[in-house]
C-alpha cells in the first residue's frame, strides 16, 4: 500500500511540476504520452508478475536452482522486450503523435518527453519487472524501497531540472529516466551481490540461455495482468483522443486534454492505495478459502472493501469540495484565460468523480473472485469498467453531449460496473454463508462422539 500510495503521489506531483513550470500545453503533452508509459508498465507486469508466480512455486518446492533459472529467463525477456519496444517506439513516435491530430506546442512537448522516455524503456522494465521477483522471494521491504527511492529521486530531480535549470519538458523526462535507472541498478545489485535468496548469474545473461518452457510459463502467468494494463492504456489513449477532438469542436482546443490529465492525476493519487489494499486482501482471502475458514474469508473481504471505499470516498470529497484549488495546482498564474480553464476543470472533475466512492468496492470485490479460484468471473468484472463499458461510452456519449459526454462516461461506467459486481458478490456471499454453515456443522459432528465418550461413566 505504501508503494502504491507513493506511485500515486508521483503521478500527481509530476504533473503539478509540469503545469507550474511550463503551461497547459505541456500538461496536455505529458498526458498524451502517458499511454506509452502504461504500455511499459504492462510489459513489466507481463514478465515480472509471471516470473514472480513461478519463483514463488519453485521456492515453495525448495527448488532454488529452478527459481534462479526463472529469474535469469525473466531478465533475458526484459532485455529482449526492451530492445523491441525501444526500436518500435522511436520508429512509430512521429506517426502516432501526428495520427492523434495534435500539432504545435502540444506535439513538441509530447515528442520531447517520449523521445527520452523511450530510450529509458529498459530501466523501467528492470526496476518494476524484477522488483516483483524481490517480493516473490519474501523481501517486501526491499521491494518497497525500490519504489520509494525512484519516486523520491524523481521529485528532487524534476524540481531541480524544471525550476532551477529551466530545461523544460526534456528536464521532466530526464528526471524520470534517471530515477528509473537508479531503481534498476538498485534491483540488479540486489540480485548480483549474493545476499538475496536468488542469485542472478551474468553468464546466463551473456550467453543468452533462453529456456523455452520457462519463458512460456512466465508469459502465461503474467498475461492476465498484462491484458488488464494494456486495456487500461487503450482506454486512456482513447479518452485522450475524444477529449482532444471534442475540445477542439467546443472551442477549448487542447486544453481539454490538459484538464483530463489533471483529473486523472487526482484519480491516481486517490485510487492507487486501493490496489495496495487489494493486493494485501487477496492472499488472506485465498488462504482462508483454501482452509475452509469461510467466516474469515468474509471478514477479510468486508474489511478490504471498507478500507478501499474510505480512500475512494476521500477522493470524492476532495473533488466535490475543493476542485478549484486542485485544478489551480496544475495551471500556473501566467496562463492566459486561466479562470476559464479552471472553470472547465472544476466542472469536469465533479462530473468524473460522481461515482468514484464505488471504485474501491468494485476493485476489491472483483479481485475476490480471482483469490477464490474463479478467474473467468474475475477477469470479466475487472475489465467491465475500462473495456466493456468505458470505451463504448466514451465513443457514444460525445455524439449527444459533446465534451460533457467524455466526462459522463466515467461515472456511468463506475456505477454500472459496481452494480454488476455487487449482484455477483451478493450471490457469492450467500453461497459462502451456506458453505460456512456446512463446514461448521461437519466440524461439530466430528467432535460430538468424543464429547459423548467423555461424558459416559467409566463402567459403561
In this predicted model, what pLDDT tens digit does every residue of 371-424 receive, in sequence order? Answer: 787 777 887 888 888 888 999 999 999 999 999 999 999 999 999 999 999 999
Cell of 147: 519504489
Cα separation, 267 vs 414, in Å, equals 13
Count of beta carbons in the 10 Å neighbourhood of residue 332 = 15
Place of cell 462530473: 351
Cα separation, 296 vs 418, in Å, equals 23
Look at residue 184 in the predicted model and tell me its pLDDT: 94
The answer to whether the CB of 271 falls within 8 A of the CB of 8 is yes
Look at residue 64 in the predicted model and tell me its pLDDT: 87
Would you give the distance in Å from CA 78 to the centre of its chain? 19
Look at residue 143 in the predicted model and tell me its pLDDT: 85
- Same-domain check for residues 307 and 200: no
Residue ranges of the chain with per-residue pLDDT less than 70: 203-208, 443-444, 446-460
The answer to whether the CB of 66 falls within 8 A of the CB of 58 is yes
Residue 78 lies in a domain: yes
- Same-domain check for residues 146 and 190: yes
The answer to whether the CB of 78 falls within 8 A of the CB of 218 is no
Q: Which of 220, 249, 278 is the last residue of a domain?
A: 249
Full domain range(s) for residue 182: 1-249
Element (H, E) at 220: helix 212-249
Q: Which of 218, 249, 280 is the last residue of a domain?
A: 249
- Same-domain check for residues 203 and 347: no
- Same-domain check for residues 118 and 14: yes
- Same-domain check for residues 199 and 307: no
Residues 6 or more apart from 252 whose CB is under 8 A from it? 344, 403
- Same-domain check for residues 269 and 417: yes
DSSP secondary structure of 261-316: HHHHHHHHHHHHHHHHHHHHHHHHHHHHHHTT-HHHHHHHHHHHHHHHHHHHHHHH
Residue 452 lies in a domain: no
Amino acid at each position: 500500500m505504501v508503494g502504491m500510495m507513493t506511485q500515486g503521489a508521483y503521478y500527481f506531483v509530476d504533473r503539478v511540476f509540469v503545469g507550474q513550470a511550463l503551461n497547459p500545453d505541456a500538461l496536455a503533452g505529458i498526458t498524451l504520452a502517458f499511454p506509452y508509459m502504461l504500455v511499459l508498465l504492462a510489459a513489466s507486469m507481463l514478465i515480472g508478475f509471471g516470473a514472480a508466480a513461478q519463483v514463488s512455486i519453485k521456492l515453495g518446492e525448495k527448488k532454488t536452482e529452478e527459481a534462479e533459472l526463472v529469474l535469469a529467463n525473466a531478465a533475458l525477456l526484459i532485455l529482449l522486450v526492451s530492445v523491441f519496444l525501444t526500436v518500435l517506439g522511436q520508429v512509430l513516435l512521429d506517426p502516432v503523435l501526428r495520427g492523434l491530430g495534435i500539432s504545435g506546442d502540444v506535439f513538441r512537448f509530447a515528442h520531447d518527453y517520449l523521445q527520452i522516455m523511450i530510450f529509458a524503456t529498459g530501466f523501467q522494465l528492470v526496476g518494476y519487472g524484477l522488483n516483483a521477483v524481490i517480493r516473490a522471494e519474501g523481501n517486501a521491504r526491499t521491494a518497497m524501497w525500490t519504489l520509494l527511492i525512484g519516486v523520491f529521486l524523481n521529485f528532487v530531480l524534476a524540481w531541480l531540472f524544471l525550476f532551477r535549470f529551466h530545461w523544460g519538458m526534456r528536464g521532466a523526462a530526464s528526471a524520470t529516466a534517471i530515477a528509473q535507472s537508479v531503481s534498476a541498478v538498485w534491483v540488479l545489485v540486489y540480485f548480483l551481490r549474493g545476499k538475496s535468496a536468488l542469485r542472478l548469474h551474468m553468464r546466463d545473461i551473456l550467453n543468452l540461455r533462453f529456456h523455452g518452457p520457462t519463458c512460456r510459463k512466465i508469459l502465461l502467468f503474467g498475461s492476465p495482468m498484462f491484458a488488464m494494463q494494456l486495456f487500461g492504456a487503450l482506454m486512456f489513449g482513447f479518452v485522450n483522443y475524444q477529449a482532444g477532438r471534442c475540445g477542439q469542436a467546443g472551442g477549448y482546443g487542447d486544453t481539454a486534454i490538459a484538464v483530463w490529465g489533471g483529473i486523472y492525476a487526482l484519480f491516481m493519487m486517490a485510487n492507487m492505495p486501493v490496489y495496495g489494499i487489494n493486493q494485501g486482501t487477496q492472499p488472506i482471502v485465498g488462504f482462508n478459502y483454501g482452509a475452509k475458514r469461510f467466516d474469515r474469508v468474509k471478514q477479510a473481504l468486508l474489511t478490504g472493501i471498507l478500507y478501499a471505499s474510505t480512500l475512494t470516498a476521500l477522493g470524492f470529497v476532495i473533488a466535490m469540495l475543493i476542485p478549484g484549488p486542485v485544478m489551480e495546482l496544475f495551471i500556473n498564474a501566467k496562463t492566459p484565460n486561466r479562470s476559464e480553464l479552471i472553470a472547465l476543470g472544476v466542472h469536469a472533475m465533479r462530473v468524473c468523480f460522481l461515482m468514484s466512492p464505488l471504485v474501491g468496492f468494485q476493485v476489491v470485490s472483483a479481485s475476490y473472485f480471482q483469490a477464490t479460484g474463479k478467474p473467468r468471473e474475475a477477469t470479466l468484472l475487472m475489465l467491465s469498467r475500462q473495456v466493456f463499458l468505458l470505451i463504448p461510452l466514451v465513443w457514444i456519449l460525445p455524439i449527444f453531449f459533446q465534451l460533457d459526454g467524455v466526462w459522463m462516461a466515467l461515472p456511468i461506467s463506475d456505477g454500472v460496473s459496481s452494480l454488476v459486481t455487487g449482484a455477483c458478490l451478493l450471490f457469492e456471499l450467500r453461497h459462502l454463508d451456506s458453505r460456512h454453515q456446512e463446514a461448521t456443522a461437519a466440524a461439530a459432528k466430528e467432535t460430538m462422539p468424543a464429547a459423548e465418550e467423555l461424558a459416559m461413566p467409566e463402567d459403561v
